[in-house]
Amino acid sequence: MVNYTLGDSFAKSRHFEVRSGTGEVCISGELDFETKEVYEFPVIATDRGGLSTTAMVKIQLTDINDNPPVFYPRQYNVSLREGTAVPAAAVVAVAGSDPDSGRYGALSYRIVAGNEAGMFRIERSSGEIFVSKPAQLSTRQFGASTWRKVVTSLCVFCVLRSRSTYHLNVSVTDGGGLRAPQDAEVFLNVVDPSQTSPVFERTRYSFSVREDVNKGTGIGAVRATVTDSGKCFPRFSCVLPTATTTKSLRSSVRYSIYSGDPEDLFSIDLISGNLRTASLLDHETRQSVLLNVLATSGDPPSYGHTQVIIVIEDVNDNGPEFDSSSVRISVPENAELGIPLYAAHARDKDSGRNGAVRYKLSSSPGTEGLFVIDPRQGHITLSRPLDYETTQRHSLVLTASDSGDPPRSANLTVLVEVQDVNDNPPVFERMEYAISVLESLPVNSQVIQVTAVDLDTGNNARLTYRLFPSNNLTIALTSRDDEKNQEVFGVFPNSGWLYLRRALDRESRDRYIVRVVASDNGSPSGSATARVVVTVLDANDNDPKFSQESYEFWVEENRVRGTTVGQVKATDPDLESNGALRYSIIPSNSSFQINPNTAGYKLTFWSLQHKRRDQVALVYCIASYVKGRYAQETLTSSFSNLLRRSCR
């Protein structure tokens, strides 16, 4: 049984968990692509024996359209002096944002109300608004019902002036079809040249500032002017300005930021309109700010509006970052060359060149050039094969560097654990074994141990010993000539000891040639074969045996001493001294003698007179083995003219 766990540094992850019994990786917490796009963590598989292996899991989140766009600010105010609008210049830009990525973060703007006459047009991708009919943009082109009248107290010029105001509603929609819950409102005030309302030199200002500047650093300035030529509408009375009054009007403009800066990053000088940083900046938090600036003049006041876009420029104040300082990956030793083994991912919060990460690899001594890395993708691959039997572990140092000046870098230690695969078959210490055993060896006695070794590890090197033939055996024993050898010999499955299953009999068979097949437990299994030659040695396990059950000899009673009466013969299938025979007569008999070592085993008449005995009975002929085994027959004789002898 295998148990799966997360690596120690990720064991308390709030986002993912692994099921211990199945290895399934499950979501355990809320995921947000906008917060983190990639997760990497190790999963450890451990068996009951304590052996373990590690795999790196990399999860790349896919963004969904879960955020609608929003406007900030929602309200925009712009003052335009009559007759100064140019079709090619944007008079105002609305700004929406969407934290989603790709097409879900691509915004499209549209004027949805207040532009019935088609006086304005909007660039759908940027939100910039242009005057499409500048010739018709006048404070007097509409009837009195469309005028908004503001009474001012600048009596030295006019008692009353009119200002035409356009109120536009702008919507923004992302690429997934989600629309901002609230539209932006744009108020465009067309100012008569004769009026004393402040008007900025530009409808939009653009500045840039580095994110590492100190607090209070100047950025730029906006300028609004108040002019009055004394021109009035016919129905109003006016007083021509003097130099003193003109100077006092110009110096009466006051500046303020009324929206677009919720973090109070910038400040504006009330009198001069100079813009400065009010706090420390961070490009990674906010890349640009769109300020709405108000110019106020007079009492009662009149107003002018402009927009200031401040781009916060990135500096290389952030280095690449890895999720951890080290990772451990397991790679089988037969991994293919050129196939990614691990994909490194370092994040750099900076942008542009400062955030462009490149990777390089340094290896431990002895493994130079074994691993290579794609400098842009961070994919580690093999350039030549691994060999578990040579090196089981490699340590790599992966360096991620950005392209800033000076560059910043971070290191990741990659521990590569080489997994053994069954690429080495078992090998016997000898291709042929020879052993001699006595035929009297007891059953179940151990005969010889055959030993095979496997350079692999674990199950790939674990050998089992069994008899052949059997389809499910991994070490098998068989005879070239007789498959029934398995009835005579067996083998212990774990040790490889050959043992005797059935009694031997040299007289039946004195030599066995068997094959031992050693197989490992890998998948697929590897195997090797060795021969075992078993020679059966003789033991004195057979009694002598006479060639006949009885012998009859006749002899004349007057034969001289030493006359051959007859010949008896016994055999013993044992070898050499075990089969060497000696003959004797028991009890001893003075009438007959037998040559104990005579090749013919002759029985000789020694002395017998008919007058003394009518018959001779119970003469025993014995053939005995040197080491004590014997056969016995009885000789019975009677006298007439012939002597009759019988050995049984």
For the chain, domains (ranges, CATH) are 1-60 (2.60.40.60), 70-313 (2.60.40.60), 321-411 (2.60.40.60), 427-537 (2.60.40.60), 545-638 (2.60.40.60)
Number of H helices, E strands in the chain: 1, 49
What's the pLDDT at 639?
38
Whether pLDDT at 622 is above 60: no
Whether pLDDT at 301 is above 90: no
Whether pLDDT at 162 is above 50: no
Nearest CA-CA partner of 236 in 287, 161, 166: 161
Q: What's the pLDDT band for 177 if we cut at 50, 70, 90? A: very high
Range ranked top by mean pLDDT from 21-25, 601-605, 636-640: 21-25
Q: What's the pLDDT band for 149 if we cut at 50, 70, 90? A: very low
- What is the mean pLDDT of the segment spanning 395-417? 93
What's the pLDDT at 161?
38
- What is the mean pLDDT of the segment spanning 127-146? 63
What's the DSSP call for residue 214?
Answer: P
Whether pLDDT at 498 is above 90: yes
CB-based contact 584:600 (threshold 8 Å): no
What's the pLDDT at 607?
54
Whether pLDDT at 648 is above 60: no
Whether pLDDT at 104 is above 80: yes
Whether pLDDT at 106 is above 90: yes
Whether pLDDT at 45 is above 80: yes
Work out whether the CA dihedral 503, 505, 506, 508 comes out positive or negative.
Answer: negative
What's the pLDDT at 250?
47
Work out whether the CA dihedral 199, 203, 208, 211 comes out positive or negative.
Answer: positive
Query: 295-304, 584-593, 618-627: which has the minimum mean pLDDT?
Result: 618-627
Q: What's the pLDDT band for 640 if we cut at 50, 70, 90? A: very low
Query: Dihedral of the CA atoms 439, 445, 448, 453 (nearest 10)?
Result: 160
What's the pLDDT at 9?
65
Phi and psi of 56, rounded to 5°? -90, 130
User: Mean pLDDT of all residues in the chain?
Assistant: 79
Whether pLDDT at 620 is above 80: no
Q: What's the pLDDT band for 158 if we cut at 50, 70, 90? A: very low
Q: What's the pLDDT band for 148 if we cut at 50, 70, 90? A: very low
Q: Tokens 């390089």 appear where?
A: 360
In one letter, which amino acid is 430?
R
Compute CA distances 621 → 213, 460, 543, 569, whole Å: 131, 68, 15, 10
Share of the chain above pLDDT 70, in %: 77
Q: What's the pLDDT band for 463 if we cut at 50, 70, 90? A: very high
Q: Which residue has the higher pLDDT, 547 or 191?
A: 547
Whether pLDDT at 619 is above 90: no
Range ranked top by mean pLDDT from 183-187, 223-227, 599-603: 183-187
Whether pLDDT at 338 is above 80: yes
CA separation for the pair 382, 396 (Å, rounded): 13
Q: What's the pLDDT band for 563 if we cut at 50, 70, 90? A: confident
What's the pLDDT at 210?
95
What's the pLDDT at 87?
73
Whether pLDDT at 155 is above 80: no
What's the pLDDT at 478?
44
pLDDT tens profile 356-367: 999 999 877 777
Compute CA distances 550 → 255, 546, 553, 619, whole Å: 150, 9, 10, 12
Query: 79-88, 142-151, 540-549, 552-561: which has the minimum mean pLDDT?
Result: 142-151
Q: Which residue has the higher pLDDT, 193 or 617?
A: 193
Whether pLDDT at 375 is above 80: yes
Whether pLDDT at 211 is above 50: yes
In the three-class reduction of DSSP (H, G, I as helix; E, B as strand; rest coil), residue 245 is classed as helix
What's the pLDDT at 55?
78
Range ranked top by mean pLDDT from 39-48, 77-86, 271-280, 468-477: 271-280
Q: Which residue has the higher pLDDT, 98 or 559?
A: 98
Whether pLDDT at 245 is above 50: no
- What is the mean pLDDT of the segment spanning 76-83? 76
What's the pLDDT at 84?
61
Q: What's the pLDDT band for 242 if we cut at 50, 70, 90? A: very low
Q: Which residue has the higher pLDDT, 155 or 191?
A: 191
Whether pLDDT at 147 is above 50: no
